[in-house]
Structure 1
Amino acid sequence: MSNRILQAGTGGGSSGSDALFNARRQSTISQAYTQSEYSGSEFDEQDNRWDDWEDEEGMEIAAAKCLFCAEVLPTAREVFQHCTSVHGFDFLRARQQHDLDFYQSIRLINYLRKQAQEVAGFDQTTTWALEGKEPFLGDDEYLRPVIEDDSLLYAFEDLELDDNDSDSGEAGAAGDNRDAAAGAASMFWMPQGDAKIMQRSAYDDVETTTELEAKLLKQLRHAEERLFAAEVQLQNTEMQFQEYRTRVKESFFDTLEDAASRSVASSALGDEDALAGVVVPPDEGNYYFNSYASSDIHQQMLNDRVRTEGYRDYIYENKDIFKGKTVLDVGCGTGILSMFAARAGAAKVLSVDNSDIIDKAGKNIAENGLENVITLYRGRIEEIKLPCKVDIIISEWMGYFLLYEAMLDSVLVARDRFLAPGGILAPSQTRILFTATSDESFLNDSVHYWNDVYGFKMSTMKENVLLEAVVDFVSPETLVTNTVTIKDLPHQTITVAGLDFVSDFELEMQRDDLLAAFVGYFDTWFTRDGKDVPLDVGISKEELQKHSMNGFTTGPVYTRSEETHWKQTMFVLQRPLELKKGDKVKGTFYCTKNTRNPRALDLRIVYEVIRVSGSSSSDDDKADLTFYLR
């Protein structure tokens, strides 16, 4: 589970999306393709021509997309005619009948765009009616364009009903309505309660004498309204950012306590004094939970077949464990794990999430007829009250490098508060592994690139590029050392305090090659009894079958079908080490939560190269490196 998936769009909490990190690798290259040396003047001679101010028909030259389906038509008027004839909605008439002002019209267009993107079968709509009292007409969320450069947003004000669609009386009323709408648009209330008032237009007293002057005046007024709308959106954003900063300060800087106290304080279910001492993992203005509210991030995770089928197979192949039991799903998301458990025979499933996605989860559960088994709870697991203890806790909490996002902290609190004696967690154990690769591609793309940018050196751009650990796929054939465990996490017994760790490691070169980056990833086990998995038990299918367990790895694999959205985490060296077979890299790995943002990780690698006899040493044979995951 990882909110970084959000950055990938539809191209990881959790957290497959190659687009995100391919885009990151290409970011430095794309900078060279911004503005070239030559660009036309911002105030080109051609910009001063009167023909830039088109008449009403001229405004329609930009092609526009239908509000309901994928049809693209040459002009805005044709789009509205298409919406009327094919989808049964006359936008221009509805705007007149319901006296919609400029902002309500913008909201209506963006609302329909959003429905077309998210509602299955919306493109087949044949009748659609507007009552004029819909909540979205006052929802500022729909002032934000759904489609970039949406020409309908710029054209609708200049389109009137055709003469044969409105008699003279209606036209006169429409004119009065437009005047009233202009007056209504002169005031706009901010959603936080602070009012931003659009001042009286400087053009209100201008009298026009020609048709051209009237059209120019109308364009100026429209431009003034759009500028005001942009100012409102900017003010909204600034206020939200200030609120975000305040909450971060209150949650992170002022109230962060020692993580160890969370597990101790949350041990007693129903003990109000004990629960009062629980420290809730802070969140930046609810950003973390909001990042899991949209459907696309959940689709990315569900499309990770290794992840989703790993949970499904464990639950379905061990139905005897789930039959008649009470199950708690921590961070239920779409409800998929809850529904697996219900189908496996669980008597009761308690599904908890603090994101808006829980509303959709409820509909998913009802659609599959499981609402009598699954009960949804909105809130943080550290604060929420549940009706009983549970026999099994399931949760997909893993982040990049396993611990990014700190959701395991919440699962351990759930364990201490709600798990009955003898209960089990699924997954029951995870393990962070450490190895090294000879792959220099990221170093070349992100660092060496700046050595020659169209014939220019830009060395300053290299600064701090490699401080952030890189999440990307590593080819297994590039691994040059053995793999070691640097952190074993038995979920039944580990404490929150134990999630910050220091671990010694020793890697040995398997062949003569470069060591360009250290690599971290994690393995996951599901056991029937929650008992610890011995260190000598691997994650191969044969090992899992031998020990009657389920599980999966996020390590480097040879086939795309085995890759996960967690990928691997690389700690790239500034200069690769040239090593011989048998050379050893001894060191210590440090992993701690960031003090200002506990969902992020601060990482440190201190190492020394021990070369085989006869090998020459390098200045880089000893190093103390710091990295971070944000």
Structure 2
Amino acid sequence: MYDIAAFGRMIADQGRMGAYSRALQRSIAHGSTVLDIGAGTGILSLLACQYGARKVYAVEPSSAIAIAEEAARANGFADRMECIQALSTDIRLPQKADVIISDLRGVLPLFQQHLPSIVDARSRLLQPGGNLIPKRDVLWAAVVETPRSYDQLMKPWERERFDLNMAAASQIVKNVWKEGRVTPDQLLTKPYRWATIDYLTVESPDVSGEMTFQVERPGTGHGFVLWFDAVLEEGIGFSNAPGQPELIYSSGFFPWSSPVTLDPADAVSVDLRADLVGSDYVWSWETRVHGKDPGQLKAHFRQSTFFGAPLSPTQLRKRGGRYQPALREDGE
């Protein structure tokens, strides 16, 4: 859940806000009904009113909706902008929307209940032939040389400072991905399009695909980086790709279990999948690095965020089929 300062940083992101503003201007006709999912403090709902929408429903589960409501009154839109504190999946509207606008992404579009929320809103709350903003997100990946990002994950658990064995933690951090920015000169391969999320047609929240990269220059591979190009309307969008202007969205760095020395003749295959389990995603990535000689396998890693969090004996007991909860002395 975002705090007010985080909503402010999203508004201050000129690349993001400029694109959303242009997409709204193109999509809204006089008299349109607009649904804003995850409205936050209401900036997109306010712009929809400013651009001529007849009715705007601003839907936000957090208390940030109180800011949106005050802003609607302050800008003279209280008669056209209705603020609803709820999840979009829990609401009913008296009329279907001509336009649904949202930005429910995290660092990447595959974030918590983003896709289920869009699928639900599209099927229940959008007029036939209505418009969705964004239209689609295209996810790209490339093998990367980023010793700084890798060391930030791995170095704290090495012996070199206190000569203590912290291998238990290092096995966990090898199975997590982290937010991180890289530059184009850190890429060791050309980008590969992993997946396209078409919000007009997507049904499943799960995404998977295999990628094959050809190493283009010698270097040390530390993993791969994942980013997305957002298409809000045709010809209107933004990207957090390496080398693009910095946005509030970073990219995702997926480390390998150990660095690999790569040569231009090497081929790298990555089977990447993201599965929504409960309220969040489990990411899994299996990597094979093939050398120039036939049959030469330089590295093979299997990693998953499923193994990226510690489980204490107490937690494991609670998950067991024979676990019986008991009241504490205070009655809880």
TM-score range, shorter chain: 0.7 to 0.9
Structure 1 counterpart of 2:260, from 577, 596, 600: 577
The answer to whether 1:503 aligns with 2:209 is yes
Structure 2 counterpart of 1:612, from 267, 292, 299: 292
* Aligned residue in 1 for 2:276: 593
* Structure 1 residue 449 displacement after superposition: 4.1
* Structure 1 residue 584 displacement after superposition: 1.3
Pair 356,448 (structure 1): closer, same or farther in 2 beyond 3 Å: closer
The answer to whether 1:521 aligns with 2:201 is no
Say whether the 8 Å CA contact 1:480–1:515 is kept in structure 2: yes
Q: Tell me the number of residue pairs that the alignment of Structure 1 and Structure 2 aligns.
A: 307
Between the two proteins, what is the percent identity of the paired residues? 24
* Aligned residue in 2 for 1:393: 100
Structure with a larger share of its residues in helix: 1
Say whether the 8 Å CA contact 1:521–1:555 is kept in structure 2: yes
* Aligned residue in 1 for 2:302: 624
Equivalences for residues 64-79 of structure 1 within 5 A:
none
Q: The residue matched to 1:322 in structure 2 has which SS?
A: coil
Q: Distance in 1 between matches of 2:188 and 2:45?
A: 41
Say whether the 8 Å CA contact 2:240–2:251 is kept in structure 1: yes
Structure 2 counterpart of 1:364, from 61, 64, 71: 71
* Aligned residue in 1 for 2:20: 311
Paired letter, 2:248: H
Say whether the 8 Å CA contact 2:290–2:296 is kept in structure 1: no
Q: Deviations over 1:128-148 (max 9, x none)?
A: xxxxxxxxxxxxxxxxxxxxx
Q: Distance in 2 between matches of 1:466 and 1:514?
A: 17
Q: The residue matched to 1:463 in structure 2 has which SS?
A: helix
* Aligned residue in 2 for 1:124: none
Q: Distance in 1 between matches of 2:146 and 2:166?
A: 22
* Aligned residue in 2 for 1:446: 153
Pair 611,340 (structure 1): closer, same or farther in 2 beyond 3 Å: same
Q: Distance in 2 between matches of 1:487 and 1:614?
A: 29
Structure 1 counterpart of 2:182, from 474, 481, 506: 474
Say whether the 8 Å CA contact 2:256–2:301 is kept in structure 1: no
* Structure 1 residue 516 displacement after superposition: 0.7
Q: Distance in 2 between matches of 1:549 and 1:623?
A: 39
Long gaps (5+) in structure 1: 1-290, 528-547
* Structure 1 residue 436 displacement after superposition: 1.4
Q: The residue matched to 1:342 in structure 2 has which SS?
A: helix
Say whether the 8 Å CA contact 2:56–2:80 is kept in structure 1: yes
Pairwise CA RMSD: 2.2
Q: Deviations over 1:217-265 (max 9, x none)?
A: xxxxxxxxxxxxxxxxxxxxxxxxxxxxxxxxxxxxxxxxxxxxxxxxx
* Structure 1 residue 500 displacement after superposition: 0.7
Say whether the 8 Å CA contact 2:159–2:166 is kept in structure 1: no
Pair 617,388 (structure 1): closer, same or farther in 2 beyond 3 Å: closer
The answer to whether 1:465 aligns with 2:154 is no
* Structure 1 residue 364 displacement after superposition: 0.8
Q: Distance in 2 between matches of 1:408 and 1:446?
A: 29
Q: Distance in 2 between matches of 1:573 and 1:550?
A: 35
Structure 1 counterpart of 2:46, from 339, 345, 352: 339
Q: The residue matched to 1:467 in structure 2 has which SS?
A: coil
Q: Distance in 1 between matches of 2:208 and 2:152?
A: 31
Structure with a larger share of its residues in strand: 2
Report the TM-score when normalising by structure 2.
Answer: 0.85
* Structure 1 residue 396 displacement after superposition: 0.9
Pair 500,314 (structure 1): closer, same or farther in 2 beyond 3 Å: same
Pair 438,456 (structure 1): closer, same or farther in 2 beyond 3 Å: same
Q: The residue matched to 1:363 in structure 2 has which SS?
A: helix
Equivalences for residues 160-179 of structure 1 within 5 A:
none
Long gaps (5+) in structure 2: 310-332
